Amino acid sequence: PWGAPPQDPPPQDPRPWGTSPQAWEFQPATPLPPPPATPLPPPPPAPPAPPRARRPWAMVGVASLASAALAAGGTWALVGAEGGTTPSATSTVVVEQAAQLQTTDYESVVAEVRDSVVAITVATAGGTGAGSGVIIDASGHVLTNNHVIAGARGIEVTLADGRIYEGEVVGTDESTDLAVVRLVDAPADLVVAELGTSATLQVGQDVIAVGNPLGLSSTVTTGIISALDRPVTTTDSQGFPGGQSTVVVTNAIQVDAAINPGNSGGPIFDLSGRVIGITSSIATLSSGSSGSIGLGFAIPVDLAARVASELIADGTASHAYLGVGASDTQVEVDGTTRTGALLREVVAGTAAADAGLKTGDVVVAIDGRPVSGSESLTGYVRQFSPGTQVVLGVVRDGTLEEVTAVLGTAD
């Protein structure tokens, strides 16, 4: 994909290891319109009170969220009940833990960052769509997903205070599903988000998602990072107005904060109020129902920031290129079975060939991070800039070796 010469590991079937079809799939977190031949309905209006009784949309997602909330509440109730019937020492521990949990000052963080998040509405040949974005500089540049604005004939950007501005596309990058939009006649009082880093993130870390789910602007949800470097493959052809069937492979940040259609392009913040990821997709039931089932995915901010900077500079983004074709495999080394990417092709004249990689090698790590398969390897390569030197952990003839490669540039 990406229009490049023979690829870094080609995207695989979303069902790794050749297993039977899963009960879930990855899906960009933007409202899915009907087929192109049918005009898109407008985003659903906010229903009158009481809201829970009058929201027919995304019922499966709402039901899933409710079930998850009940499950979590039931677990806490059980722990609390047990604590209440056990000796006071145990009760003290429970109370102290609860007090520690209550020290998280979400209100202050949200108050600081909320005005940097925008709602994006697009008009396309097929109708209308909605997504989210985050203001990244005082000039009015907004970072979002490519699939949010792909095929747009008109873009409106709504600030948190309700002011609406026309948006124009500065640059798009289908390979990473990122895009930058600029506000026309941007006001002088924009609130600019602070970009953090994704290099030091930890599983279990608290996060805050802000966006425009289901057309409900400035919606805030909270959760934790539930996994890092999760290989996720999506395509723009999954029902979107401007979808071009571009395959996107990302080693994503997985979060359990509620992510719903319309959150696409919105930021994920840490508790210091810094952006650590850009929401891009959710896992949904294979039946086609959408909404959060506790698995949301974000593009790491280090990748997003680099691509955004390049798009603002000249409207295009560069991509690293290793020069291999690969598939998922397992390999035994030092008495242990490991997963990895089996190199089925090494393209002559590329970074891989220059580094001495060979067909039959199995890449099990890159810069010390485990490679779980071909998608994982592709996702890691995409995170780097061209010219970056990386150290690959390679199993060759049953022996683990380190191979240094200087990544090339994809055409």
CATH number at residue 306: 2.40.10.120
Q: What share of the chain in percent tops pLDDT 70?
A: 71
Q: Which residue has the higher pLDDT, 76 or 377?
A: 377
Same domain, 63 and 147: no
Q: Is position 13 annotated as part of the catalytic site?
A: no
Catalytic residue among 132, 198, 218, 264: 264
Same domain, 143 and 245: yes
User: Model confidence over 381-397: pLDDT tens digits?
Assistant: 999 999 999 999 999 99
Confidence of residue 6 (pLDDT cuts 50, 70, 90): very low
Q: Per the domain annotation, does 12 fall within a domain?
A: no
Confidence of residue 104 (pLDDT cuts 50, 70, 90): confident
Q: Per the domain annotation, does 164 fall within a domain?
A: yes
Q: Is position 376 annotated as part of the catalytic site?
A: no
CA-based R_g, the chain, Å: 22
Q: Per the domain annotation, does 18 fall within a domain?
A: no
CB 378 within 8 A of CB 12: no
Same domain, 248 and 123: yes
Q: How far is CA 66 from CA 60, 137, 216, 256, 258, in A?
A: 10, 37, 18, 14, 11
Could you say which of 294, 317, 340 is where a domain stops? 317
Q: Write down the pLDDT at residue 63.
A: 27
Could you say which of 64, 85, 104 is where a domain stops? 104
Q: What share of the chain in percent tops pLDDT 90?
A: 64
Catalytic residue among 173, 177, 256, 270: 177
Q: Write down the pLDDT at residue 61.
A: 24
Same domain, 96 and 221: no
Q: Which helix (H) or strand (E) holds 76?
A: helix 59-85
Q: Write down the pLDDT at residue 118.
A: 98
Same domain, 230 and 146: yes
CB 240 within 8 A of CB 181: no
Could you say which of 283, 317, 351 is where a domain stops? 317
Look up the pTM and report it: 0.74
CB 116 within 8 A of CB 196: no
Q: Give the position of tokens 């683990």.
A: 400
Q: Write down the pLDDT at residue 284.
A: 73
Q: Write down the pLDDT at residue 89.
A: 38
Q: Write down the pLDDT at residue 294.
A: 76
Residues 6+ away with beta carbon under 8 Å from 174:
2, 146, 150, 236, 244, 246, 248
Domain region containing 69:
51-104
CB 151 within 8 A of CB 241: yes
Q: Write down the pLDDT at residue 203.
A: 98
Q: Per the domain annotation, does 8 fall within a domain?
A: no
CB 43 within 8 A of CB 158: no
Q: Per the domain annotation, does 13 fall within a domain?
A: no
User: Model confidence over 138-188: pLDDT tens digits?
Assistant: 999 999 999 999 999 999 999 999 999 999 999 999 999 999 999 999 999
Q: Is position 302 annotated as part of the catalytic site?
A: no
Q: Per the domain annotation, does 81 fall within a domain?
A: yes
The lowest-confidence range among 13-27, 210-224, 270-284 is 13-27
Q: What is the mean pLDDT of residues 113-124?
A: 97
Same domain, 88 and 204: no
In the predicted model, what is the mean pLDDT of the chain?
79
Q: Which residue has the higher pLDDT, 54 or 325?
A: 325
Look up the CATH number of the domain holding residue 330. 2.30.42.10
Q: Write down the pLDDT at residue 287.
A: 62
Same domain, 204 and 330: no
Q: Per the domain annotation, does 20 fall within a domain?
A: no
Same domain, 401 and 253: no
Q: Write down the pLDDT at residue 67.
A: 29
User: Model confidence over 267-289: pLDDT tens digits?
Assistant: 999 999 999 999 999 887 666 55
Q: Rounded to whole angstroms, how far apart are CA atoms 182 and 313?
A: 13
Same domain, 170 and 251: yes
Q: How far is CA 222 from CA 41, 139, 212, 357, in A?
A: 29, 29, 14, 43
The lowest-confidence range among 31-35, 326-330, 372-376 is 31-35
Please state whether the peptide bond connecting residue 370 to the residue before it is cis, i.e. omega within 30 degrees of 0.
Answer: no
Cross-strand pairs, 230? 252
User: Model confidence over 357-373: pLDDT tens digits?
Assistant: 999 999 999 999 999 99
CB 310 within 8 A of CB 316: yes
Q: How many domains does the chain have?
A: 3
Catalytic residue among 132, 141, 147, 173: 147
Q: Write down the pLDDT at residue 276.
A: 98
Sign of CA dihedral 122, 46, 255, 268: positive
